Every structure is written in structure tokens, then in C-alpha cells.
């Protein structure tokens, strides 16, 4: 058996074909379209496409969707056991793993929310790139050595050894809730953006959700993690290229880089370094704490991340994958920030390009999809819509694969419901992936009832569970005196804290001046982490009994061998 990255790689042919097609789309089609746009007067550039997508756009989108399904089928012929299906046999290329992990965590939510947040609120979010070295040091030298010492399919197997079956199941259930809501949110947001691009009303959202989910689930259920990782790599290149195409077209329209802001835009919020007022929506310090805690908690407690690292050979390879992930995160954060700047400047200059009732500040989340469909040259629109499609699929595929791994490992296998043959186990996993995908498509129909900016809605829903899940691993692997009652008490306290902050507006009333919640969403993660660990450790110290086995610090050095 060979794996991606080895000398005799069975995926070389589909990878080369896919990369050739992607190169064609990124270099030939956009180059011609941009050249055509450059020949037009600036006032005509905005009107190159005023009716939505045209034939060439649909050809690109359909070709891309068909290609991903073909890749899934290619890999399905080599899925003989669940080790290959869920972790790629544990020998996958660290670069591909890192890029795949980045693509998974970026998602359509980030692809839409980052430009919208920058255009409508301000650029402080870009400072996340300054915190990435801190994140790397914490995760690579504290978390990964411990995790990579214990080879598991489901991350939540690690919890049972120290804290018992009940905590393992608690972690698995919270993860399932987190990812199901998260995927439902992102496919809804992707579909909502598609309605803007296609120029149709929101009654089309269920249909678009169905198509997006169907393509993602089919190639994921067929090909397992190998198909997910390879397509995530292609989707990342497409997503990154699509964002730069938008920047290029706007630069042509301005005749240079006049769209780059040189002063604080009047549409932006005040975003100070620090504020003693908890209702201040975003501060530099709050951004630091939120970013570091979210990244560390996701890498250390989310099956989607742990599963990727388990697909590498050892802690050293896992670190290389982490470097690739964080490097991609930095590059795309900068790119999407520039997209936000460019969109704000373009729609300020061409205010008539927005429908009546929408302004660049209040409708900032709609600027990116509207520009893509109505103000890009033909061909370029299709490429960037494919990038949006890719962002959704890169998250759906990984979420479905990781949820399937958890359900099969932590519930079915754990309680003796495993199929008799390994081939039957793979088939059951594929069927389960289809069921999970259907659940996500159904659940997305309820997401439209949640009001607010994309960034805020995300923080107030799916991110409620990120910190509590991570704290389970902290108790199990790094706190030797932790006890089950303490862990449960800490989890409840952390969840209550996160919920009170997330919904402080409806519970206690919004700020009468700014209209924001009395406690900003940026404090959800930091406050939940502190309360969770403080309560959990205190109750554990008061509880009698032994703590059970734990991973000793001395074991850390052995993990690199």
C-alpha cells in the first residue's frame, strides 16, 4: 500500500490531472477575461456582467463539481479498511494535511465574513497573523507531542483512559453537536451567497443547499480522508486565486492601488487596543485572546483537527502540517482583508451598483458575493463562484468524514456494533457519511432564523462548544488531579458562561447607543475557558478518590522519537 507523498503514489495521476485543470482555470481563463476588462473604460468594467452568471461560468462550476466526484470515486477503489478511510493509513503528506486542515477551518463562513467584517466594521481582525507564532508554539510543543504518542482514530478515545467512558461520550456528543450546527450554518450561508450571485430570491436556498451538500457528501463518502485532503488542497488554491482575481479587477478599475485605505474609514467602528467597557465590540487585546484560544482549542479538541494530525507519521510531521496550516491562514487572512478594503472602496465609488436599501456598512456581508456575480468579467465570475463552492465543500467534506469517524469509533465500535468484515466496516462508514450529510442539509433550513452579522452569528452559535470540548482534553491529559465530578461541573459552568455572554443582548438588553450586546462576543472563549478550568479544578480538589492514569510530562520527549 502506498500513500500520498510516497515515491509510488497511487494518487499521482488524478492529482496531476486535477492540478492541470485548476492551472487552466486559474491562468488561462482569468488571464483572458482580465485582459478584456483592461481594454474597457473603468465605468464599463462594472457593467461587464450585469445579469449574473453566463455559460462559461456554469461550465467552470459544473466541471469543478464533476471533477471532485471523480476524485472521490478514484479513491473509493482503494478503501479496504477504516484506517485508510479515516486517517489515510497514517502516512499522508504533512503539507497536504496542513493545507487540508486550513481549508476545513476557513470554510465559507470565513470566506464571506472576513471581507464583510473588514468592509463594515474595521481591519483589526487582520492582526490575527501576529498571534500565529504564539499559537504554533503552544500547539507544537505542548499539545502535539502528547497527542501523537497515542495513535487513535477518534480523538475522544483519549478521554476514556483518564476520565472514563462517560467523559468520552460527553466529548463525542458535544463534538457532534458542534459540527452539525457548524456545517448547517456554513451551507446555509453559502447558499444565501449563491442566491445573490445568481440573482434569485431566497426560495432557492434549499435547492442550492441540496446540490452543494450532495456533491460534497458523495465524494467524501466514497473516497474517505484521502479524497478529502486532495480536494481540499485544490479548493484552497481555487479559493485563494478567486480572492486575488477580485483584487485584480478592482485594481484595474481604480487604475492602481488607490483603493487601499490611508486613514480610518468613517464607516468603521472604533476598535481600540483595549477597553474596560465589555460592550466594545472588538479590541486588539480581545482579538488576541479570542484568536489564540480558538485556534488552540480547535487544534487540541476538535476531531477534525486531531484526525488530520493522526494521518501523519509522527510529531515532527504533525508540526510540519501545523506550519502549513498556519502559513495558509496568514496568507489568506491578508488576502481577504485586502478584498474587504477593495470592496469597500469600489462600492463607495460605485454606490449605484448596490440595490436600494443596502449600504456598504449595513450590507457588508453581501458585497463580496454581489461583486463576484455582477461586476466581474465572464469566466472570472464562474471561477470565483467555484471558489465559494469550494470553501463550502472543503468544510462539509471534512466535517462529514470526522463525524463519521466519531460515530463509528465512539458509539458503534465501542459498544460492539462493528460489522463482521473490514470491507463491511468501510461500507457502513460510507453509508453513515451519506446519512450525516442529509442531516446537515435538513438542519440548514433552520439557520435563516438566526439574525446578525456572519461573524457574530458564528461566535454565538457553533463556537459556544469549542472551549468546553478542549477543556475535556486539558483535564484528561494535563491535570493529574482531575475528577469526573469536577470535569462535569467545569463543563456546565463553562457552557453557562459562554451562553450568557453570547446572548447577553436578548437577556439583558443591548447598548442603547451602539446597539451592541452588553458583553461582546469576543469574550465568549476567554471567559468560558477561565470559568471552566477554575470550577473544574476546584471541584476536583474537593472530591475524594484517585485521578487515574495520565500522560506524564516526561513522556513528551519520547513522542518525537
Residue 546 backbone zone (phi > 0: left; psi -120 to 50: alpha; other: beta): beta
Q: Quick one: pLDDT at residue 139? A: 92
Q: With contact defined as beta carbons under 8 Å apart, do 18 and 230 qualify?
A: yes
Closest residue by Cα to residue 479 from 394, 550, 388: 550
User: Which position has the grid cell 466529548?
Assistant: 171
Residue 350 lies in a domain: yes
Closest residue by Cα to residue 116 from 456, 394, 443: 456
Cβ-based burial of 503 (10 A; exposed 0-12, middle 13-18, buried ≥19): middle
Cell matching residue 65: 463539481
Residue 547 lies in a domain: no
Residue 249 lies in a domain: yes
Report the alpha-carbon distance of residue 226 to residue 9 in Å, rounded. Answer: 12
Q: Quick one: pLDDT at residue 88? A: 45
Q: Quick one: pLDDT at residue 337? A: 92
Q: Quick one: pLDDT at residue 106? A: 61
Residue 154 backbone zone (phi > 0: left; psi -120 to 50: alpha; other: beta): beta
Residue 33 lies in a domain: yes
Residue 41 backbone zone (phi > 0: left; psi -120 to 50: alpha; other: beta): beta
| CA angle 452–346–38, rounded 5-degree value | 140
**Which residues, at least 6 apart from 318, have a Cβ–Cβ distance to it below 8 Å?**
94, 140, 144, 147, 148, 309, 312
Report the alpha-carbon distance of residue 299 to residue 321 in Å, rounded. Answer: 12
| Domain extent at residue 80 | 14-126+196-265+318-419
Backbone angles phi, psi at 556, to 5 degrees: -60, -45
Residue 523 lies in a domain: no
Residue 336 lies in a domain: yes
Helices 303-310 and 284-301: crossing angle in degrees, nearest 10, is 60
Cβ-based burial of 173 (10 A; exposed 0-12, middle 13-18, buried ≥19): middle
Q: Quick one: pLDDT at residue 215? A: 67
Residue 291 lies in a domain: no
Q: Quick one: pLDDT at residue 13? A: 40
Q: Quick one: pLDDT at residue 404? A: 73
Number of structural domains, the chain? Answer: 1
Q: Quick one: pLDDT at residue 152? A: 73
pTM score of the predicted model: 0.75
pLDDT, averaged in runs of 10, over the chain (561 residues): 39 44 45 44 41 73 72 57 45 60 65 84 85 92 85 80 90 88 78 74 76 64 55 69 85 92 86 88 90 91 80 83 86 89 89 65 74 76 70 65 76 75 65 71 67 72 88 93 94 95 84 78 94 96 64 40 41
Q: Indicate the SS3 state at residue 465.
A: coil
Residue 280 lies in a domain: no
Helices (H) and strands (E) in the chain, counts: 23, 0
Altogether, the residues listed in the chain come to a count of 561
Amino acid at each position: 500500500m502506498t500513500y500520498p507523498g510516497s515515491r509510488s503514489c497511487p494518487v499521482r495521476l488524478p492529482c496531476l490531472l486535477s492540478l492541470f485543470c485548476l492551472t487552466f482555470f486559474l491562468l488561462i481563463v482569468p488571464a483572458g477575461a482580465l485582459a478584456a476588462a483592461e481594454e474597457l473604460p473603468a465605468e464599463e468594467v462594472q457593467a461587464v456582467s450585469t445579469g449574473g452568471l453566463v455559460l462559461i461560468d456554469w461550465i467552470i462550476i459544473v466541471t469543478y463539481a464533476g471533477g471532485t466526484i471523480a476524485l472521490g470515486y478514484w479513491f473509493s477503489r482503494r478503501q479496504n479498511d477504516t484506517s485508510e478511510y479515516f486517517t489515510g493509513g497514517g502516512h499522508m503528506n504533512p503539507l497536504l494535511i496542513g493545507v487540508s486542515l486550513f481549508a476545513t477551518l476557513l470554510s465559507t463562513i470565513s470566506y464571506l465574513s472576513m471581507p464583510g467584517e473588514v468592509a463594515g466594521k474595521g481591519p483589526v481582525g487582520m492582526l490575527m497573523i501576529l498571534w500565529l507564532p504564539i499559537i504554533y508554539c503552544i500547539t507544537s510543543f505542548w499539545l502535539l507531542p502528547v497527542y501523537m504518542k497515542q495513535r487513535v482514530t477518534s480523538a475522544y478515545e483519549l478521554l476514556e483512559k483518564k476520565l472514563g467512558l462517560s467523559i468520552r461520550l460527553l466529548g463525542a456528543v458535544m463534538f457532534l453537536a458542534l459540527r452539525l450546527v457548524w456545517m448547517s450554518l456554513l451551507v446555509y450561508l453559502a447558499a444565501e451567497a449563491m442566491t445573490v450571485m445568481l440573482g434569485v430570491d431566497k426560495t432557492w436556498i434549499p435547492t442550492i443547499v441540496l446540490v452543494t451538500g450532495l456533491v460534497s457528501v458523495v465524494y467524501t463518502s466514497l473516497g474517505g480522508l484521502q479524497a478529502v485532503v486532495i480536494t481540499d488542497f485544490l479548493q484552497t488554491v481555487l479559493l485563494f486565486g478567486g480572492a486575488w482575481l477580485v483584487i485584480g479587477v478592482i485594481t484595474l478599475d481604480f487604475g492602481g492601488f488607490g483603493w487601499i485605505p490611508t486613514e480610518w474609514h468613517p464607516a468603521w467602528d472604533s476598535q481600540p487596543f483595549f477597553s474596560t467597557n465589555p460592550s466594545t465590540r472588538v479590541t486588539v487585546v480581545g482579538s488576541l485572546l479570542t484568536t489564540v484560544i480558538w485556534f488552540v482549542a480547535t487544534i487540541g479538541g476538535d476531531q477534525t483537527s486531531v484526525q488530520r494530525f493522526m494521518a501523519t507519521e509522527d510529531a515532527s510531521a504533525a508540526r510540519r502540517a501545523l506550519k502549513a496550516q498556519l502559513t495558509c491562514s496568514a496568507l489568506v487572512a491578508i488576502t481577504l482583508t485586502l478584498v474587504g478594503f477593495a470592496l469597500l472602496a469600489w462600492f463607495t465609488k460605485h454606490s449605484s451598483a448596490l440595490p436600494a436599501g443596502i449600504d456598504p456598512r449595513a450590507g457588508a456581508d453581501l458585497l463580496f458575493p454581489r461583486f463576484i456575480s455582477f461586476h466581474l468579467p465572464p469566466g472570472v465570475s464562474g471561477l470565483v463562484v467555484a471558489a465559494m463552492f469550494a470553501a463550502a465543500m472543503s468544510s462539509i467534506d471534512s466535517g462529514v468524514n470526522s463525524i463519521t469517524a466519531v460515530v463509528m469509533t465512539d458509539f458503534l465500535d465501542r459498544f460492539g456494533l462493528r460489522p463482521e468484515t473490514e470491507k463491511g466496516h468501510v461500507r457502513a462508514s460510507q453509508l453513515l457519511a451519506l446519512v450525516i450529510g442529509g442531516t446537515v442539509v435538513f438542519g440548514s433550513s433552520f439557520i435563516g432564523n438566526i439574525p446578525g452579522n456572519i461573524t457574530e452569528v458564528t461566535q454565538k452559535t457553533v463556537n459556544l462548544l469549542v472551549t468546553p470540548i478542549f477543556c475535556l482534553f486539558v483535564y484528561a491529559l494535563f491535570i493529574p488531579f482531575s475528577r469526573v465530578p469536577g470535569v462535569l461541573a467545569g463543563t456546565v459552568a463553562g457552557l453557562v458562561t459562554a451562553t450568557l455572554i453570547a446572548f447577553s443582548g436578548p437577556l439583558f438588553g443591548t447598548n442603547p447607543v451602539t446597539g451592541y450586546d452588553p458583553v461582546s462576543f469576543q469574550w465568549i472563549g476567554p471567559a468560558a475557558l477561565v470559568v471552566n478550568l477554575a470550577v473544574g479544578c476546584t471541584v476536583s480538589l474537593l472530591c475524594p478518590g484517585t485521578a487515574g492514569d495520565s500522560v506524564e510530562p516526561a513522556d513528551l520527549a519520547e513522542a518525537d522519537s
